Amino acid sequence: MTVRVGVIGLRFGGQVHVPAFRTDQRCEVIALAGRDPGKAAAAARELNVPASFDDWRELVKAPDIDAVSIAVPPAAQPAIVIEAARHGKHVFCEKPLAASPLDAEEALRAARNAAIVHGIDFTFPEIAAWRQARALIAEGAIGQVAHFAYSWRVETYASRTNADTWKNRPVEGGGVLGNFVSHVFFNIEWLLGRIAGFDSIVCPSGRRRGRAVDGVVRLENGAAGSLSVSSDAFLGSGHALEIYGDQGTLVLNNPTPDYASGFRVHLGTRTSGRLTCVSETEDSAVEIDGRLAPVTALVRRFLDAIDGGAAMTPDLADGLRVQQLLALAEAAGNSTGRDARSHAALTP
């Protein structure tokens, strides 16, 4: 089997999606699409991709394309997914899936109706330290989880320069909700359990609109936790999750500027009486982009699913679930204590 892949999006698509797909001998990247014909052609030459398009529609309908990898702003993704599904192309998307739950739902419906393989790039569960943390919690290393504190405080280039980009525009699926909290909600549910609702969510207005979220997350299993995420935190503390159980504490954190590399797991129990680093040894090879290794793991599962193996996870249903939670959190910013249970049931 050789899966012929077309990548839509020149920046993250060229930097991460193209090399990630090229790590697997079962596929070949044969086309690249961007909005600017000159840039698309130049990127294709630089990456040694045979064909380039300045209109993603032309790439999607090309008969020699089997799968489409999408790395464009969230608001633009659903239309590409729907068109790819219409042409029977498998799809691999970036997160968040869309700019609204309705658009995300339409994308998922199209993919399911076409019976294509669909996946989405929630990367953190592919990182060794995150998998180790989940295993420790599952085996009862800290007992019953009671509460947690999730913080992710960094300063992005888009925030620092006040760039005119979708990353600073919440209405287009950007802002700290789309860029960061989409990951946070998926990570919480993957690691600790389904989210039941939100309390006291604060999303600042004015100059900081779209650059911070603070509040409380309630889980269906009774645990609760604080949430503090910001993209305008100069010299911020990084990405950290503190999890407190009745028999111990686990801390998963990454104080480095690398998005994916640098996570460490610290564990403390009532027997040890102190936190100790228990991280498994990581590959010493340094990636040009730390996101490449986890995306490569997801791409491998995507190809496995196309090849008839295990189902692809996460998929667009997970993307829709997160989209609904993002909408609920945004609404809760204007109304304390909004409950997520009834809305969560909308996820097919």
Residue pLDDT, tens place only, 143-170:
999 999 999 999 999 999 988 888 888 8
**Can you tell me the mean pLDDT for 45-69?**
96
Sequence-ordered list of residues with C-beta below 8 angstroms from that of 89, at least 6 positions apart, any chain: 60, 65, 66, 67, 68, 116
Report pLDDT for 284: 44
Rounded to whole angstroms, how far apart are CA atoms 29 and 27?
7
| Domain ranges within the chain, ordered by starting residue | 3-123+292-313, 125-283
Query: Measured between alpha carbons, how far is 160 from 137 in angstroms, rounded to an integer?
Result: 37
- Find, among 346, 345, 339, the residue nearest to 196 by Cα: 339
Quick check: 120 and 255 in contact, CB under 8 A?
A: no
Cα 325 from Cα 293, distance rounded (Å):
27
How far is the first Cα of the chain from the last one, in angstroms, to the nearest whole number? 31
- The listed CATH number (3.40.50.970, 3.30.360.10, 3.40.50.12660, 1.20.1250.20) that belongs to domain 125-283: 3.30.360.10
334 pLDDT tier (thresholds 50, 70, 90): low
Give me the pLDDT at residue 10, please.
94
Domain 3-123+292-313 belongs in CATH node 3.40.50.300: no
pLDDT of res. 55: 95
Give the separation between CA 326 and CA 340, rounded to whole angstroms: 10
The side-by-side arrangement of strands in the sheet containing 90-93 is: 51-53, 27-33, 3-8, 67-70, 90-93, 118-120
pLDDT (tens digit, 9 = 90+) per residue, 19-32? Answer: 999 999 999 999 99
- By CB atoms closer than 10 A (0-12, 13-18, 19+), residue 206 is exposed
Picking from 273, 305, 291, 328, the residue whose alpha carbon sits closest to that of residue 118 is 305
Q: Write the pLDDT tens digit of every residue in 108-138.
A: 999 999 999 999 999 999 999 999 999 999 9
Could you give the percent of the chain with pLDDT greater than 90?
Answer: 78
Output 47 or 335, whichever has higher pLDDT: 47
Q: 193-207, 224-238, 284-298 — which is least confidently predicted?
A: 284-298
DSSP 177: I
